[in-house]
Structure 1
Amino acid sequence: MTEQPPADGSSASSEEPIDAQFEPELLGRWERLGASALGLVAGGGGGWAVFTTDNQAGSAVLVVIGAAFLLMGLQGTPLIRVGGADSGVELERRRRRVERAIEQARHEENQEVAAGIVEGASILEPAVFRSLRYRRELYVSKVALALQTVGAAVERGKNDRGPDLVAQTATGLVNIEVKYIGGRLSLSGVRQAESYSHGVPALVVTNAPLSPEVESHNASERSRHVEAVRWNDERDTALLGRALLRVAAAGGLQAGS
């Protein structure tokens, strides 16, 4: 995967350039005419080259490109990618299918079903999941399942300005903020989760190493109601469970004081 998560601890959903590529508008009239013209030129040139030159591979690619642009002109569908290992054509409808699956998973009450939907979409459309946005969605689903494994009841957050997940423990509620990032988790990422908590204990779960500042924050008794933990797979689940219990217990003590 060539695309890396952001290094500043911010969530992927706040990055407009990433999201923008998944919300294309249909082509306008002149764009469709231009695409059709390019398709005719490329397709015609490729067809002529097939019969008059020895460069069969290059001619075939021209034919595929021409067909893709003609399809754009006829349907008004933005082109996502032309070419690849098999000179295939990927159109927007593939991303739309994944988009619908992700939306369904977000509203699914059963987290096992939600994770299955996202996992299935990643298997059916692996090229789409090279995107940071969808890799993060897959990571959130796996974190939700891991939290259930340690005995918490888990729900998705209700809006973009709140936590990604809410875990119900025997001690009380814990807000779960997911940080799928590159580099190290900075203290600002933890502070952001704290601002969302509104008095509810919060646990930041990340795929990235914790910075020394975050390690010091975790060690401080004063900030025990907001903690960060690294989780990547089942080998980290026990660590995740212990962090969840500490945060929930600290939140209970804070409420009772």
Structure 2
Amino acid sequence: MAGEMDLLDSMLDLTRRLPPMSIEENVSSLVELCPDYADDLLGSVDQPLKLRTDHTTGRDYLICDYNRDGESYRSPWSNEYHPPLHDATYPSARLRKLEIAANDAFDTYREMYFEGGVSSVFLWDLDDGGFAGVVLLKKTLNPATNASGSWDSIHVFEASERGRMAHYKLTMSNDKSNSTMGTVDLSGSMTRQVELDSSLTDSSSHITNTGRMIEDQEIKMRNLLQEVYFGKTKDVVHDLRSVDSLEKARKQREVQKELAGLLRK
């Protein structure tokens, strides 16, 4: 048993060190090498979100392990599985009503922040009387432009009601920004976790509370990308490539030396 866990840990450790932009190819290769660990590996490694189209409503939605049952995926718009299932699991009537409202709310959030892309929200009941859910967000740049890239967010949360209060646990994972321009690639993934106690006025308060948590975490994530990753990349590029000519730079150094000498005198 210990040997099996060591092998799985080694596979997970390898996926963290390989290029994030090739995560699908890397996981597929590892599954081919160790097919007995396919379920454990696929359940532990987040991969880029994929789109499906709801044939009933004609609207796109995102698929992941949280809306999958066997080989079928449930649409948040029609609450139907594609392909159809006879013994599928569905949220309760109360939770389905909240799920519909949450999809409308985060669809507005997606349009305001990303100006495009696709969002999906899925909720499910828990045995202790609470519920859990996942908010999926994906934005992909137009391939016709000179640059290509995508942003994938998976927000998994758990809500437990305590009278007029609710306790939330939010895990934000696989927030990945892939950017390709020319021969420069920038990609990566991060995971963050936060807990919060908030008041409840009605069932819609869950949408407000979780929405605020997700908004705050995404803002922090984007700021971190802007300040650290993109900022560091700009510094490296500016150090590698000089806009001014070498002759101009030589003259500037000579002037600096001359000024330094005069100051010393």
> Do they fold alike, i.e. is TM over 0.5?
no
The structure in which a higher percent of residues are helix is 1
The structure in which a higher percent of residues are strand is 2
TM-score (norm 1): 0.28
More RCO (CA 8 Å, sep 6+): 1
TM-score (norm 2): 0.28
